[in-house]
Amino acid sequence: MNILLTGGAGYIATHTCLELLAAGHEAIVVDNYVNSCPEAVRRVEELSGRSVPVYEADVSDRAAMDRIFEENRIDAVIHFAGLKAVGESVRQPLRYYRNNLDTTLTLCETMAAHGVKRLVFSSSATVYGVPDEVPLREDMFCKGCTNPYGWTKYMIEKILGSVCEADPEWSVVLLRYFNPIGAHESGRIGEDPAGIPNNLMPFITQVAAGRLDHLNVFGNDYDTPDGTGVRDYIHVVDLGRGHVCACDYAAKHTGCEIINLGTGVGYSVLDIVRTFERVNGIRIPCEIAPRRPGDVAACYADPSKAKRLLGWEATHTLEDMCRDAWHWQSMNPMGYRT
Ligand code: NAD
Ligand code: WQD
């Protein structure tokens, strides 16, 4: 299939792009580089030995999107483009609602106008809000999100559900990612956050690289085995493979499916720190800090629907995730700017 990746220069999209190319698909990228750079796609081309057409455009620019659909025969779209920083979304809610909703609406209108009706969307475990119980299943009622970013994902899920209800030819897979970490084993592509990282693993790798002094552990008094927050960390290459399976699924089915992509295993902050230290032989100085507002104690997936519908399950271990995250950071201490 020819698959358009919106936000295709980003962290998850570049890893997905490599997996799509390896599975025999063609990829086309559109990105406005608000949180990425052209070098990332150049490295995907280098690793795959394939060329990937890239359009620098905002996905909410209808004329630019029409041009992409006119110049390429597109069979399916994976919609990664979006702003994703939780804290920033609290400070800049309108920017988040505008960007994440407008891109989705414009994309769907463009797809409909060009007769393309297969879509895989980057949703998030954040839509589960504060869970009553774990593991999280797709059919659980989402009582509400804790931040505007989460609400954008929740709203987009509803919009795409309505699109499928109105036109039974559409096929939409809403992938709820848990906590993607790690990098391609080559160390050539990886996560390159702007400024001080919000997320745990890039923060740890920047401490290991000497860019940051120590890790603040946000709370050690949660109701979890060691008191620190528990999450379902998933290797980004496993996540990329999940998208290949979702595209195959969308080609054979219609309607809207919500699917968790996680491992089903929860690890605490201290599990991650200790595993990172052991695998890479680097000490990560830690200080216990207050809980971060909006954090939940534990969040991990029931991934059985992904296995049942997509035939997908995660194969990488936590050791792989820690090793590959550090390999990327140590080879690229300043990210793509090196
Ligand atoms: P990322 O920031 O690396 O990738 C997003 C890409 O979208 C970037 O390249 C950015 O430049 C691009 N973009 C944003 N707005 C755009 C616009 N208007 N037009 C064109 N391009 C635009 O983030 P990521 O971690 O790779 O996440 C990809 C998707 O997965 C996002 O939708 C994110 O919300 C979602 N997601 C991420 C996580 C995570 O922890 N990384 C978890 C769940 C869901
Ligand atoms: C993981 C754990 C922190 C940083 C976020 C979004 C979610 C999804 C994935 C997009 C928590 C602790 C973190 C630090 C710490 N993204 N931590 N010190 O919050 O589970 O999920 O990314 O959809 O929507 O909310 O991920 O990596 O920020 O935190 O102790 O410096 O690490 O408290 O327990 P989170 P995270």
* Cα distance between residue 105 and residue 159, in whole Å: 8
Q: How confident is the model at residue 289 (pLDDT cuts 50, 70, 90)?
A: very high
pLDDT digits (tens, 9 = 90+) for 214-237: 999 999 999 999 999 999 999 999
**DSSP secondary structure letters along 47-88:** HHT----EEE--TT-HHHHHHHHHHS---EEEE--S---HHH
User: How large is the average pLDDT for residues 43-60?
Assistant: 98
Residues with catalytic roles: 149
Q: Mean pLDDT of all residues in the chain?
A: 98
Distance of alpha carbon 182 from alpha carbon 32, whole angstroms: 24
Percent of all residues in the chain with a pLDDT value above 90, rounded to a whole number? 99
228 alpha carbon – ligand 2 mean position (Å): 12
Question: CA-to-CA distance for 193 and 79, rounded, in angstroms?
Answer: 20
Cα(161) to centroid(ligand 1), Å: 21
Closest residue (by CA) to atom 1 of ligand 1?
10
Mutate to test the pocket of ligand 1, among 4, 11, 152, 336 (most ligand atoms within 8 A of CB): 11
Beta-sheet strand order (sheet of 171-177): 54-56, 26-31, 2-6, 76-79, 118-124, 171-177, 255-261
| Tens digits of residue pLDDT in 114-159 | 999 999 999 999 999 999 999 999 999 999 999 999 999 999 999 9
Copy the structure tokens of residue 34: 């608000």
Distance CA 78, CA 117 (A): 11
Q: Whose CA is nearest to atom 33 of ligand 2?
A: 218
- pLDDT at residue 173 is higher than 80: yes
Report pLDDT for 71.
98
Residue type, 276: F
Centroid of ligand 2 to alpha carbon of 233 (angstroms): 10
| pLDDT at residue number 227 | 98
Q: Which atom of ligand 2 is nearest to the CA of 180?
A: 9
pLDDT tens-digit series, residues 226-267: 999 999 999 999 999 999 999 999 999 999 999 999 999 999
Residue having the nearest C-alpha atom to atom 30 of ligand 2 = 217
Residue 22 has pLDDT above 80, yes or no: yes
Burial profile 249-278: b = 16 or more Cβ within 10 angstroms, e = fewer: bbeeeeebbbbbbbbbbbbbbbbbbebbbe
Asked whether residue 308 carries a pLDDT value surpassing 80, the answer given is yes
- For 283: left if phi > 0, alpha if psi spans -120 to 50, otherwise beta; the answer is beta
DSSP class of residue 309 equals: I
pLDDT at 338 exceeding the cut of 80: no
Q: How confident is the model at residue 198 (pLDDT cuts 50, 70, 90)?
A: very high
Tell me what pLDDT residue 62 has: 99
Q: How far is the CA of 292 from the centre of ligand 2 (A)?
A: 9
- Look up the pTM and report it: 0.99
Provide the token pair at 48. Answer: 């795959």
Tokens (6 digits) for 147: 């931040």
- Burial class, 20, CB count within 10 angstroms (exposed 0-12 / middle 13-18 / buried 19+): buried
Q: Which atom of ligand 2 is nearest to the CA of 228?
A: 34
Question: Across residues 182-203, what is the average pLDDT?
Answer: 97
